[in-house]
Amino acid sequence: MKLSHVRVRFAPSPTGLMHLGNVRTALMNYLFALQYQGTNILRIEDTDPARNFDPGAKQIMQDLAWLNIIYQEGPVQGGPYAPYFQSERQSLYQENLTLLEKNNFVYRCFCTAEELEKKRERQVMLKMPPRYDRTCLKLTPGEIAQKLKDRVPFIWRMKVPTDQKITLHDLAHGAISFDLNDFSDFPLTRQDGTATFIFANFVDDMLMKITHVLRGEDHLTNTVGQLVLYQAFNAPIPVFWHLPILFNIDGKKLSKRDFGFSLNDLRNAGYLPQAICNYLGILGTSFEEEIMSMEQLAQAIDFEHPKAPGQIKYDIAKLNWINHKWINRLTPEQVTAHALPFLTAVYPQASNVPLNQLTKLIEHIQTDIVKLTDVPELLRFYFETPTTSVKELSTHIPASSLKTIFNLIEQTPLVKAHDFVDALKTAAKANNIALKDLFGTLRYALTGKLHGMGIAELIEVLGITTAQERLKHLLMENHK
């Protein structure tokens, strides 16, 4: 489809940590804008100060920056439709509420929360759909005036045209028609006069000229009310895409109990931002090439025919695979920069190791890294002297071979790493010793593990003196 002046928005509420659903919504809006060379907007829903976990949305903006999800308009960035905090836009909501009042689209509702709950319970008991019964729409002007004089608290409700049907155009669902007789007159304000989520979002989307609304499928019912508002204002209706909800591998809706639900979980576990975005970008769709940058994702996703809703399962094993692939795409210098905080958290002395030496170490283990939290364990041999014993080693290497290997090591001087390894290989072949047993023994003496880096590389990163000491320790035990 050919689109011009595409304007999308990510509108998070700073009432908790960013979770995968938020991240996926932010990502899809960004990629959509990128594909159509449009404008991506960040707008903060902070009208409920009691639940404002992230004042000023500082953490949200830091998270987006870390993920490299860029917006052209928003807090700090500014733009032609500022302010971008809903708490600073109350006058705009009031202006548009006044317009609705003048055109008789709204009415005051004086019902208390207790009264509404009793009505709802009764409707449920009678197997009726629970919805507001329009009690306050039937009030006379005199009754309303008296209640206002008595300062009875009230909210404003939208008068839904229940004799009509309304159609939603959704990228995944197609055209969906709703019979408004099935919907209730919904609140536009709270008792303190502030705008509700539905009303504030509608006003902002209308005034900011949003052309496409990409958000979670859990907002589908909210959309009907917003369509009623668009109709009342005779304003252009955006195209919607309600993204499928994420489920865990067991088919249950992803929740706080699932590892990786929050972005902090994944960041602290050592996942790269590129991998997280890559994974969420391909989730629920098939691509021939699965490892893609943001720019590649923006071109590869078919926004004209997105996948129809269904269960999209979040699979940590697939994320691990993608993270591993991304780690191996980066240069050793880049991996070192990402890994350093994880390494120094376990081994503070790592901050004193020259950066080029750390990079050399990382280069040797890079293909073994799945998550950045693997790095301290993979490099433990460098920062800690391994605990080794001939008894443990003999459970992996035949005793007859082990005796010969120890003799060969004692007879071969360690001056240069490659000369030492070449000499041992030649001697091992002459003595019918399997190279895997020779290298397994050497690696065990140097790192405490049978598998890992090449022997010459190990000796080089440890240094000749340290390598000699570790080999000597195992040889001395053999003589006891």
Task: Tell me what pLDDT residue 480 has.
Answer: 64
Residue with the bigger pLDDT between 309 and 82: it is: 82
Give CATH 3.40.50.620 domain extents, the chain: 90-243
Interval 15-68: pLDDT, tens: 777 889 999 999 999 999 999 999 999 999 987 766 767 778 889 999 999 999
Give pLDDT tens digits for 256-288.
Answer: 788 878 899 999 999 999 999 999 999 988 899
Query: For position 245, what pLDDT does the model report?
Result: 86
Which band of pLDDT confidence, cut at 50, 70 and 90, is reported for residue 309? low
Mean pLDDT value across residues 404-425:
95
Placement of tokens 């700073």 in the chain: 14
Residue-level pLDDT at 248: 85
**What is the mean pLDDT of the segment spanning 432-440?**
95
Instruction: Tell me the per-residue pLDDT of 338-359, one tens digit each, with 9 for 90 and over.
Output: 999 999 999 999 999 999 999 9
Mean pLDDT of the chain: 92
Q: Is residue 86 predicted with pLDDT exceeding 90? A: yes
C-alpha–C-alpha distance, residues 441 and 447, integer Å: 10
Q: What is the mean pLDDT of residues 246-251?
A: 84
Instruction: State what percent of residues in the chain have pLDDT above 70.
Output: 98
Q: Which helix (H) or strand (E) holds 175?
A: strand 174-179
pLDDT in tens, 116-169: 889 888 888 888 888 899 999 999 999 999 999 999 999 999 999 999 999 988
Which fold, 90-243? Rossmann fold (3.40.50)
Query: Rounded to an integer, what distance in angstroms lies between the CA atom of residue 459 and that of residue 446?
Result: 8
The pLDDT of residue 3 is 61
Q: Per residue in 143-155, pLDDT tens?
A: 999 999 999 999 9
Parts of the chain belonging to CATH 1.10.10.350: 385-479
How many degrees, rounded to 5, is the angle at CA 359 between CA 353 and CA 364?
Answer: 115
How is residue 410 written in tokens?
């004692």
**Considering the entire predicted model, what is its pTM?**
0.91
Task: Look up tokens 């320790």; give the residue.
Answer: 473
Asked if pLDDT for residue 2 goes beyond 60, the answer is no
DSSP character at residue 131 = -
Q: Of 186, 171, 175, give the one whose Cα is nearest residue 217.
A: 171
User: 244 falls in which pLDDT band (50, 70, 90)?
Assistant: confident
Return the CATH number of the domain spanning residue range 385-479: 1.10.10.350
Mean pLDDT of all residues in 297-321: 87
CA distances for 355 relative to 272, 334, 335, angstroms: 20, 12, 12
Radius of gyration of the chain (CA): 32
> Which residues sit opposite 179 in a β-bridge?
165
Q: Is the pLDDT of residue 1 over 60?
A: no
Residue 239 has pLDDT above 90, yes or no: yes
Report whether 165 contacts 177 (CB < 8 A). yes
What is the pLDDT at residue 258? 82
Tell me the percentage of the chain whose pLDDT exceeds 90.
Answer: 76
Look at residue 48 in the predicted model and tell me its pLDDT: 72
